[in-house]
Amino acid sequence: MKNLKLKAARAAKDLSQEQLAALCKVSRQTINAIEKGDYNPTINLCISICKALDKTLNDLFWEEEI
């Protein structure tokens, strides 16, 4: 499942995938894979992404129930 919340939060901070990746010390491909839903990040990477984007784990990684 695509992580559109992550993509939107990154865009709101005016960060490219490359810039977010550098902040989190991972590759751009990793950020791309997370956004596309092709990669399930570790909790430590999730926390790092949240800190870089000033968001909570719930903001970015919690799936809303329909």
Give the structural domain span for 10.
4-56
Task: State the pLDDT at residue 1.
Answer: 82
Q: For residue 41, what is the domain's CATH number?
A: 1.10.260.40
Residue 65 domain-assigned? no
What is the number of structural domains in the chain? 1
From CA 57, how far away is CA 66, in angstroms rounded? Answer: 19
Give tens-digit pLDDT for 15-55: 999 999 999 999 999 999 999 999 999 999 999 999 999 99
- pTM to 2 decimal places: 0.91
CA torsion 26-40-43-15 (nearest 10°) is: 40
Residue 64 domain-assigned? no
Task: State the pLDDT at residue 13.
Answer: 97
Encoded tokens for 16: 């490219």
From CA 20, how far away is CA 48, in angstroms rounded? Answer: 10
Residue 61 domain-assigned? no
For residue 3, pLDDT over 90 is answered with: yes
Instruction: Judge whether 39 and 33 are in contact, CB under 8 Å.
Output: yes
Task: State the pLDDT at residue 63.
Answer: 77
For residue 7, pLDDT over 80 is answered with: yes
